[in-house]
A and B are shown apart, each in its own frame.
Chain A
Amino acid sequence: MTVLTQNERNWWLERLDAAIDGDLPEAERERFMEMAALDPLLADEWALAEAMRSALASEHVPACPARVDAAIEAHVRASLQRERGGRGARADRAPKRTLRPAALWSSVAAVIVLTIVAVVMIQPAPETNFPAGAPTASVDRAKQDVQWALAFVSDVGGAAGHSVGLGGGENQ
């Protein structure tokens, strides 16, 4: 027995999806089920929609073949090997643009020492009352400072693989 007009049934059929998805408000869902109990055509649509949803939701999926993982892994490995090979070749071709930290520090220290030595040697000797050729205390102290500085730089340079000296024996 059909109790709904076509328009009424269509109105409820428009709500079938929401009813299936559980999106209808509780009161409206109860009303929907009442209508479905009264109207066989609406009940058929409901039953069919439920059967479809249930059948699709329980579809069986076979296991993914193991060859998929193996192929993906092989591709990634090959890609990484190509990348490493390319990077190595680029590194071989590229000029060395950077200094190692130890070499950099020894160079800076050598510049400082040479600057000190130059300043000390360029400065005119102060006039003194001592006889010519007699070392003053300040000159001795300056020479000692230079020796200490050279010894320090030489020590730092030695640790870095370099040695620094005046090459002429300034303290003979």
Chain B
Amino acid sequence: MCVLRTQTIFGAVSPSAFNQIVAYHRPRIFALAWHILSDREEAADVTQTVFIRLWDRQAEIDMDRVDAWLLRVARNAAIDAWRRRRTREGVLSTDTDAVEQLAAAHQESPDAGVASSEFRGRLRIAVGQLPEPQRSIVVLREIEGYQYDEIADTLDLPLNTVKVYLHRARRRLRETLRVYSPENA
């Protein structure tokens, strides 16, 4: 959805229209960055960077497709931040400390009793270890609830490629998590 269709003149976005864009898209952009990074402050930095870039480059952006642009830039910025952190701290291990660290970062929602804390922790680790673009596709589809065509548009991939990547990602997650399924946990 584009909230700006009638509020742009010759590619220029008024400050009030820009505020509407920020208010509408910020939660999803922040959530995407959060699910990739699992760090509130880093996700906030990514969100801020994305919207500042939108303002600075508004003349170059097709405002009818601003949703896809925002998601693409947010995803790339989050992945860059994640790579920088990984370079800084070393590859994230899958030991118990890492699980506890991630579990602490993600506060459990009150109605999230369907899976054990350990299963959730392992799942987050497994999602974080997926190669790109599988990880982004899992986040966008399974967590953010985007449709396949929206993901294809965002990641600039053919629709069938998105489905194939998601199929592989799910299979890989199941293989990783089989011993940690809720029944076994």
Q: Which residues of A contact B (CB under 8 A)?
A: 16-17, 20, 44-45, 47-49, 51-62, 64-65, 67-69, 71-72, 75-76, 79-80
Contact = CB atoms under 8 A, between A and B. Distances in A.
A44 B111 CA distance: 24
The 8 closest A-B pairs by CB, nearest first: A60-B109, A56-B142, A64-B30, A55-B115, A61-B31, A54-B114, A65-B44, A58-B112
A27 B15 CA distance: 53
B177 interface: yes
B47 A68 contact: yes
B123 A55 contact: yes
B119 interface: yes
Q: Pick from A16, A64, A71 the residue with the most CB of B within 10 Å.
A: A64
Interface in B132-180: 138, 142-143, 145, 163, 166-167, 170, 173-174, 177-178
Contacts of A60: 106-109, 112
A72 B177 contact: no
B34 interface: yes
Interface of B: 15, 18, 22, 26-27, 30-31, 34-35, 40-41, 43-44, 47-48, 51-52, 55-56, 106-109, 111-112, 114-115, 119-120, 123, 127, 138, 142-143, 145, 163, 166-167, 170, 173-174, 177-178, 181-183
Nearest to B29: A64
Nearest to A62: B40
B116 to A, nearest CB: 9
B40 A59 contact: no
Contacts of A55: 112, 114-115, 119-120, 123
Contacts of B115: 51, 54-55
Contacts of A67: 44, 48
Provide the main secondary structure of the chain A interface.
Answer: helix
A65 B31 CA distance: 12
Given A49-B170, A54-B115, A55-B115, A61 B34 contact: yes
B56 A51 contact: no
A65 B44 CA distance: 7
A89 to B, nearest CB: 20
Contacts of B55: 72, 75-76, 79
A20 to B, nearest CB: 8
A57 B181 contact: no
A54 B47 CA distance: 26
A52 B30 contact: no
A51 B31 contact: no
Nearest to A64: B30
Given A55-B119, A59-B35, A49 B174 contact: yes
